[in-house]
């Protein structure tokens, strides 16, 4: 391996990221950076990232979980308890523009790879740490997304009103924290560009969760109101939930008065929009139990897809409830090209397109998710050479 090449494409070309993270939040952040052109070196223990073993499902014997968050990276397996491997890790951190880790707070200090230690030899480093509950009193609490979904209050908001709390279908706060880490890294790099100073960027899942609960967090912080689960209903807007049609449920999200008037027009009940019980959003929300059957009676006359096309043409937000394959099919219908290949030949893997589009510096898909220590030999050789 040679030094990062600024001509490889992507807005972050030339940036070297030393990735000491594992599982989801950190690897998701570094995958986003790799898509944008950064050279990401994934440091794994001798057994590899945990997600290599999280299966099924698999693709040719490889965990699809691992494949989904590790494209664009080079892998080196290092045992940090081994003196020569630790020296290589420290040299990688010394050369890196960005170091990212998600061990329990203090874990990297055991190896002389914490921020203070790395900064001594690399004063301009942007060093990102992701934890479950911060580096203060919560430092010793393991940070798993399911725990944070429970402890943040999200599960209390998810599920039927008279049923048990549920977790979200994905590790939503790991993904959110990964996004926050990427944002923090980019902001710190901008600061370094202006000042020459590196810094320590800290992200924790609980803080990501609390900001991510948005209106529910604000309900508590600003008014002392504790929200509770309402199934698929919205506490402040109606209609904004699934409603039954002739076949499947359809999401109807008429979130303001003009949209509701258009909805009533498409449904053939324009007079309902003038009913004082339903004229304003606050009225509709207060009288939702009276309004819902009026809407359902009309919606049952056509299928969900038929209504979707009619409502979309009228400018009323709606959408059929689909499985994942349907979601990708819809993205194809809208010309979003959601699947791109990464790698070439037998190593080519279909992957989900990076979510951000750039007019001048598009995302790059150079390297398939690496095999464990796939690039170890070339990286060790590079790290042993004078920088």
Catalytic (active-site) positions: 174
pLDDT at 386: 80
Angstrom distance (rounded) from CA 138 to CA 148: 12
Average pLDDT over residues 104-113: 96
Per-residue DSSP letters for 331-375? HHHTT---EEEES-GGG-EEEEPPS---SSS-----SPPPPTTTT
The answer, yes or no, to whether residue 275 has pLDDT greater than 90, is yes
pLDDT at 141: 95
Residue 259 banded pLDDT, cuts 50, 70, 90 = very high
Tens digit of each residue's pLDDT (9 = 90 or more) over 132-177? 999 999 999 999 999 999 999 999 999 999 999 999 999 999 999 9
pLDDT at 9: 81
Average pLDDT over residues 218-232: 96
pLDDT at 304: 95
Q: Where are the alpha helices (DSSP H) in the chain?
A: 25-35, 64-67, 83-95, 115-121, 145-152, 172-195, 205-212, 214-223, 257-267, 281-286, 288-299, 304-314, 324-333, 376-384
pLDDT at 194: 97
The answer, yes or no, to whether residue 5 has pLDDT greater than 70, is no
Query: 81: which DSSP letter?
Result: T
Angstrom distance (rounded) from CA 29 to CA 38: 11
User: What torsion, rounded to 10 degrees, do the Cα atoms 250, 252, 253, 256 define?
Assistant: 170
The answer, yes or no, to whether residue 4 has pLDDT greater than 60, is no
The whole-chain average pLDDT of the chain stands at: 96
Q: If you search the block for the tokens 């397996």, which residue do you land on?
A: 77
Closest by alpha carbon to 329, among 341, 320, 342?
320
Tokens of 32: 């986003």
CA dist 347 → 93, 163, 245 (Å): 29, 46, 45
pLDDT at 1: 57
Closest by alpha carbon to 6, among 364, 367, 344?
364
Tokens of 99: 């170091």
Tens digit of each residue's pLDDT (9 = 90 or more) over 45-76? 999 999 999 999 999 999 999 999 999 999 99
Angstrom distance (rounded) from CA 11 to CA 361: 5
Average pLDDT over residues 195-211: 98
Angstrom distance (rounded) from CA 220 to CA 168: 21
Listed in sequence order, the residues at least 6 apart from 377 whose beta carbon sits closer than 8 Å to its beta carbon are: none
Angstrom distance (rounded) from CA 6 to CA 13: 5
Residue 317 phi/psi, 5° resolution? -65, 130
Tens digit of each residue's pLDDT (9 = 90 or more) over 83-93? 999 999 999 99
Q: Are 379 and 74 in contact (CB under 8 A)?
A: yes
Burial class of residue 149, CB neighbours in 10 A (0-12, 13-18, 19+): buried
């Amino acid at each position: 391996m040679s030094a990062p090449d600024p001509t490889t494409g992507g807005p972050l070309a030339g940036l070297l990221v030393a990735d000491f993270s594992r599982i989801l939040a950190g690897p998701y952040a570094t995958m986003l950076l790799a898509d944008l052109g950064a050279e990401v070196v994934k440091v794994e223990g001798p057994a590899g990232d945990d997600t290599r073993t999280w299966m099924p499902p698999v693709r040719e014997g490889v965990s699809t979980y691992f494949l989904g968050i590790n494209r664009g990276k080079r892998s080196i397996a290092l045992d940090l308890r081994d003196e020569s491997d630790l020296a290589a890790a420290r040299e990688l951190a010394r050369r890196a523009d960005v170091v990212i880790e998600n061990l329990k707070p203090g874990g990297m200090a055991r190896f002389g790879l914490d921020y203070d230690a790395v900064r001594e030899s690399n004063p301009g480093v942007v060093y990102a740490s992701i934890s479950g509950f911060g580096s203060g009193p919560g430092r010793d609490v393991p940070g798993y997304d399911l725990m944070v979904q429970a402890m943040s209050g999200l599960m209390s908001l998810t599920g039927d009103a008279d049923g048990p709390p549920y977790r979200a279908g994905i590790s939503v706060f790991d993904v959110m924290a990964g996004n926050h880490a990427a944002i923090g890294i980019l902001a710190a790099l901008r600061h370094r560009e202006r000042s020459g100073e590196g810094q320590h960027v800290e992200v924790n899942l609980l803080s990501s969760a609390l900001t991510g609960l948005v209106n529910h967090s604000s309900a508590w912080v600003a008014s002392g109101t504790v929200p509770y689960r309402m199934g698929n209903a919205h506490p402040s807007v109606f209609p904004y939930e699934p409603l039954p049609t002739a076949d499947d449920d359809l999401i109807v999200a008429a979130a303001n008065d003009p949209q509701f008037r258009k909805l009533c027009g498409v449904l053939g009940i324009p007079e309902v929009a003038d009913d004082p019980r339903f004229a304003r959003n606050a009225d509709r929300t207060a009288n939702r139990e009276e309004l819902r059957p009026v809407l359902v009676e009309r919606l049952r006359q056509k299928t969900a897809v038929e209504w979707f096309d009619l409502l979309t043409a009228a400018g009323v937000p709606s959408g059929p409830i689909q499985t994942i394959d349907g979601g990708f099919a819809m993205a194809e219908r809208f010309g979003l090209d959601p699947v791109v290949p990464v790698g070439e030949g037998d190593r080519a893997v279909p992957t989900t397109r990076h979510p951000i589009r750039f007019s001048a510096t598009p995302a790059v898909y150079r390297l398939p998710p690496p095999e464990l220590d796939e690039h170890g030999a070339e990286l060790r050789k590079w790290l042993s050479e004078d920088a």
